[in-house]
């Protein structure tokens, strides 16, 4: 006999998040997408084939109606939108983390150890590594014989 899923369907998930103080609104860019927000943080969830909810946009700070991505540059975390980039504050990171944990719990998502420790970034761009992507030719090694000997 097949087991029943513990996860709620999409409509039940929306009712649950609304009951816990989240605001919901239709998201124009995605068919059937719903933006869920609370305390200045938002995410976009969509229904998947089995009827449950999944992230379309991961949680991020809501800036001028746009969900900002968390960018880690090694020395500082930034909130990046399509128009600008601002340094992230500790309160903003805490709000994103709290929002993610609560929404994950309500939607039946899996809580991972590294995410439970704190806010994880969407993009990592370390300044010391910038420009190392280009492949350079191996340097000549004088102890190795070349084709002429």
- In this structure, the number of other CB atoms found within 10 A of the CB of residue 36 comes to 26
DSSP collapsed to 3 states, the chain: CCCCCCCCCHHHHHHHHHHCCCEEEECCCCCCCEEEEECCEEEEEEECCCCCEEEEEEEEEEECCEECEEEECCCCEEEECCCCEEECCHHHHHHHHHHHHHHHHHHCCCCCHHHHHCCCCCEECCHHHCCCCCCCCCCCCCCCCCCCC
Residues 6 or more apart whose CB falls under 8 angstroms from that of 22 comprise: 36, 37, 38, 103
pLDDT of residue 1: 44
pLDDT tens digits, the chain, 149 residues: what are they? Answer: 444 456 677 888 888 889 988 998 888 878 888 899 998 899 998 888 877 777 788 888 988 888 898 888 777 888 888 888 899 898 998 898 888 888 888 877 777 766 666 666 666 666 655 666 666 666 777 777 766 65
Instruction: State phi, psi for 94 to the nearest 5 degrees.
Output: -65, -40
Task: Extract the tokens encoding 87.
Answer: 């340094």
- The model carries a pTM of 0.69
pLDDT of residue 42: 92
pLDDT of residue 41: 92
């Amino acid at each position: 006999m097949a087991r029943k899923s513990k996860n709620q369907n999409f409509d039940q998930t929306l009712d649950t998040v609304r009951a816990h103080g989240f605001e919901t609104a239709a998201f124009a860019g995605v068919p059937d997408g719903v933006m869920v927000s609370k305390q200045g943080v938002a995410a976009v969830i969509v229904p998947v084939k089995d009827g449950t909810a999944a992230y379309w946009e991961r949680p991020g700070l809501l800036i001028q109606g746009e969900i900002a991505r968390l960018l880690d540059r090694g020395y500082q975390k930034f909130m990046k939108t399509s128009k600008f980039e601002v340094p992230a504050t500790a309160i903003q990171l805490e709000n994103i983390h709290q929002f993610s944990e609560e929404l994950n719990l309500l939607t039946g998502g899996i809580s991972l150890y590294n995410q439970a420790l704190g806010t994880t970034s969407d993009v990592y761009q370390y300044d010391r590594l910038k420009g190392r992507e280009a492949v350079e030719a191996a340097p000549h090694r004088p102890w190795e014989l070349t084709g002429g000997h």
